[in-house]
Structures are given as C-alpha cells and as structure tokens.
Amino acid sequence: MQNIQNYINGSFQNPIQNKWIDNYNPSKGEVYGQIPNSTKEDVENAYKAAKSAFPKWSQTSIEERSKILIKISELIEENLDAFSQAESKDNGKPISLAKAVDIPRSASNFRFFGNAITQFASESHESIGQAINYTLRQPIGVVGCISPWNLPLYLFTWKIAPAIAAGNCVVAKPSEVTPMTAYLLGEICSEAGLPKGVLNIVHGLGSTTGQAIIEHKDIKAISFTGGTATGAHIAKIAAPMFKKLSLELGGKNPNIIFADCDYDDMLNTTVRSSFANQGQICLCGSRIFVEASIYEKFKKDFVTKVKALKVGHPAEANTNIGALVSKAHLEKVKEYIDIAKTENGTILYGGNKVTVEGFENGYYLEPTIIEVPSDECRVNQEEIFGPVVTIMPFNKEDEVLKMANKVKYGLSATLWTNNLKRTMRMSNQLQAGIVWVNTWMMRDLRTPFGGIKASGVGREGGFEALRFFTEAKNVCIKY
C-alpha cells in the first residue's frame, strides 16, 4: 500500500483526526493506498505555517525565488520516470502521455514562472508638472490553490508556481482522486530549498478540506480549476469575504472543420483533440462540426482512424487510450452514451466498456463517436468530459458560428480553414477564451489562458497569473 501524508511547514504529517480515504488505481479498479481526509484543523495548521513563512518569503529577492523555482523544475525533470509512473497509476492515463506531456509541462511551469518573475515590471505614470505615480505589485499573503484530477501535477503546478514566484505562501489541495504527484512534489520542494511553510499541501475531500480552504477568512485569494458547479459554489462562499478569485471551469468546445482545410493534418489532430487523455481535457473539441461537402468522407476516415486506437493498460507502450479516472466517472460517461440513444443519436463507433485482459476491473471505455441530428441535444450541450464526441454537418459559416456559440460554456474553439478572411471573422466572433486555428492545444505559457461564460472568470498564464497573485498599489508623489 502506498499511503501519503500532508506536507505542512516543510514536513510530512498525518491528518490530525487520523481520518483516511482510499486511493484507487483506475487501471485495475483496486485500492492501492490511503490519503489523509484532512479537516479544518489541518487546513488551519497549513494556514499558520504559510502565514509565518510569508514575511520572509515575500521579502526574499526575486533572484533567490527564481533560483529555487528553477531548481524545483530541474528536480522534477530528474525524476521524470517516477513522476510519470505515479501520475499514470493514479489517473489511468498512458505512462507515455504523462512522460511526454504532464510531467515535462509541470517542470516547465516552475521554470517559466521562475524566469517570468525576473521580467515582471509595474507601471509608472507621470502627471506632468505635478506628480509621479508608480504602481507597486505586492504579494497578497496566504493564497489557496485547488486543482482537478484530469491533469493532476500539470494544473496543480500551473497555480502554485506563479503564486510562490510572486512572493505568496500557499495552502494547496490537489484532487482527492489523484493526489500522488502532489505528494511527491513536497519532497522535491524541500530538496530544492523552498523554505518551510511557503508551500503546504493538504489532502482530502473537496467538501471538507477544499471547503475549509475557501471558507478560511484569512486565505485572501483562491485559484481554482474544476467543474462549473463547484466554481459557482466557491464564488458564493468567497464573494462576501471579497477574496480574489480565478476560476477555470468546464468546457464544451467546438471543433469547426471547413472543406478548404489541410485535410490530413486536421484529421490526425482531430483524433487527438477528441480523445487525448481519454477525452478528459477541458480543451478537448467534443463537438465536431464538418462542412457538408466533406462530411461523408470525414465520417468514414475519422471512424477508421478511431477504430485503430488501442484501449489498454496505461503502462503498455502501444496504448493510446488508458482507463477513465474513476468508476463513478465511467458510469457518468456511459450514462451520456445512453442519453444520446434516447435523443436519436447514432453511435458511429464505440459506446462500450472494454475489458482489458489481466485488468478486468479497470475503468476502460471505447472511444465513442456519436452522430447527432441536432446541436440542441444534451450530449451536444452538456460537458461529458470523457472519450465521447458528437459530429454533425453544416452548410454555412453563420450557421456553424451560431451553433458553436449556442452553449453555456466558452473555453476554447478550434477552426480548420485556409481562408484568411473567414479565420479573422470567425475568431472575432467565437465566444471562447482561446481560439486555435489549424492546430489544437499548442500552448505558449506567456499567453492568457481561461474562459468566458460558464467556463470561468479571470485568466492564468504569463503576467496575467502574476497580476492575479499580486495586489496593485499606486503611490503618488507630488513634485
């Protein structure tokens, strides 16, 4: 059994009330360890450690902070194999994916913000002949970071790195479903010389541990990634305390394919944008709209490609699709496939649970393509967050634009076309925080990242994140 502990004030500790939660390996459907089910008291201890570390950390030079962040990044890279295996075991994703994407990106997050903080500057404004104004960007104090299970270390570090780079101290909670790499990060931080109390990692349920963080009156800002309903709940609790909030929430992203695109590139990328990480990426293009003139060809080619994807144990080198993260999530995704049938959807491929030899209790599901008769059905409107996509044809640009925007979410959109004017027209009008044209999930960490509508509030990435984790104070000096 692999049991883990909270990381508070630089040391590993059991939860005060000695309550524990089972941790599952989704590829086997078995418990493989226990994690703390932390209570308010543990969060309070984490807060106190963060509070006492803050005066010194916030006054630590930028160079020193930067050096420590970059050291953390290097240590993650040195432990690439161990982190990748742990991520895959906890989440069900192929080890190859964790090794190529999740863990390198987690290291990049620390390196990026270690460098970014050395370039972060504030403004000054001269009121000519009267005064000079300059703006200080001061760390907030103790902040909370709460992350989901789909990209566990990747999203956890995407919040923690800018928070500590900017001079804050952190109380962080990873998803209780995937806590393992966050636990391993604690060891790395100590080894890199991060002073005790700067980062505190508290494990447990959202409804108890997470709730204690958002309700804590002295945790001044919350950076949260997760579901829209949870985001709304957090906003309700945090608003009367005037906490700063960054909410990165759900998505139901359109993938719009015009006949004039580079077809092979589009087809290969669409397979990825549909099913990477078992479709459990908030940015996946789960609604595919194809121009009518190439619809039948696309349908045939897409089904052929998806049929060739191998669903298997995450440790197998040739596995394309691993296990879904949990039994409950598998059931939820399967329910949506049933809903599609009642809504006159046609399952073009997939829809069934897969039994992987030797791992019969694992949570495996075929990649699933559903042809929908209208964009208004539930499978086309609600976030499924699994290996399920819908496809349907369209005739006109304004028709597809309307359908693309007709959901409550607005996270990302993908557009496949070689027509420059259309690209510009549509990019302007798509209701999304991120538009990819002729690519998907190409990320530059300097760019603003986030959604509109029910996909969230605020932006992460680059200086946006450093602005979020600081308070601006204007100083006006009269000549």
Q: Hey, which residues are catalytic here? A: 248, 282
Considering only residues 156 to 175 of the shown chain, the ones binding ligand NDP according to CB under 6 A are: 173, 175
How near is the Cβ of 303 to ligand NDP at its closest, in Å? 26
d(CA 317, CA 142): 42
In the chain, % helix, strand, coil (3-state, to 5) comes to 45, 25, 35
Q: What is the sign, positive or negative, of the torsion defined by CA atoms of 264, 340, 383, 314? A: negative
The one-letter amino acid code at 170 reads V
By CB under 6 A, which span of 113-121, 201-209, 307-315, 358-366 interacts with ligand NDP? Answer: 201-209
**Block residue for tokens 């760390």:** 139
CA dist 437 and 272 (Å) reads: 15
Residue 152 or 167 having the CB closest to ligand NDP: 152
Tokens of 434: 């991120």
Compute the distance between CA of residue 389 and CA of residue 391 in angstroms, rounded to an integer.
7
176 scored as a contact of ligand NDP (CB under 6 A): yes
In the complex, the smallest distance separating the C-beta of residue 247 from ligand NDP, rounded to whole angstroms, is 8
**The only residue of 169, 201, 221, 282 in contact with ligand NDP, by rule CB under 6 A:** 282
Each residue 336-375 as x (binds ligand NDP by CB under 6 A) or -, in order, gives: ----------------------------------------
Site for ligand NDP in 47-86 (CB under 6 A): none
The 10 Å CB-count burial string (b at 16+, else e) for 266-276 is bbebbbebbbb
Applying CB under 6 A, among 214, 340, 369, 426 the residue interacting with ligand NDP is 214
Under the binding rule (CB under 6 A), the answer on residue 253 touching ligand NDP is no
Contact 438, 458 (CB under 8 A): no
Cβ 209 to ligand NDP, closest distance in Å?
A: 7
Taking CB atoms within 8 Å and a gap of at least 24, the contacts of 94-99 are: 94/314, 94/316, 94/319, 94/320, 94/321, 94/322, 95/314, 95/315, 96/317, 96/319, 97/276, 97/277, 97/322
d(CA 63, CA 244) in angstroms, rounded, equals 27
Question: In this chain, which of 75, 107, 177, 401 binds ligand NDP, going by CB under 6 A?
Answer: 177
Q: Which stretch binds ligand NDP (CB under 6 A): 208-216, 266-274, 303-311, 417-425?
A: 208-216
Q: How far is the CB of 158 from ligand NDP (least distance, A)?
A: 9
Going 312 to 305 to 440 to 425, the CA torsion angle's sign is: negative
> Quick one: which segment of 73-81, 120-128, 229-237, 315-323 binds ligand NDP (CB under 6 A)?
229-237
Which residue's CB is nearer to ligand NDP, number 250 or number 351? Answer: 250
Cβ proximity to ligand NDP: between 155 and 199 the closer is: 155
The single residue among 33, 210, 387, 410 that binds ligand NDP, judged by CB under 6 A, is 210
Other beta carbons less than 10 A from residue 10's beta carbon:
17
Query: CA–CA separation, 275 vs 435, rounded Å?
Result: 19
Residues 434-473 that bind ligand NDP (CB under 6 A): 451, 455-456
- Name the minimum Å distance from CB 95 to ligand NDP: 20
Where b means 16+ CB within 10 Å and e means fewer, 142-165 reads bbbbbbbbbbbbbbbbbbbbbbbb
| Alpha-carbon separation of residue 460 from 157, 188, 251, 393 (angstroms) | 12, 24, 16, 34
- Applying CB under 6 A, which of residues 40, 80, 195, 227 lies at the interface with ligand NDP? 227
Q: Shortest distance, CB of residue 62 to ligand NDP, whole angstroms?
A: 27
Check residue 383 for interaction with ligand NDP (CB under 6 A).
yes
Rg (CA), the chain: 23
Judged by CB under 6 A, the stretch of 22-30, 148-156, 292-300, 354-362 that binds ligand NDP is 148-156
To ligand NDP, the closest distance from the beta carbon of 255 in angstroms equals 16
Distances (CA, A) of 406 to 231, 254, 342, 409, 430: 21, 10, 21, 9, 10
Which residues contact ligand NDP (rule: CB under 6 A)? 146-150, 155, 173, 175-177, 205-207, 210-211, 214, 225-227, 230, 233-234, 248-251, 282, 383, 385, 411, 451, 455-456
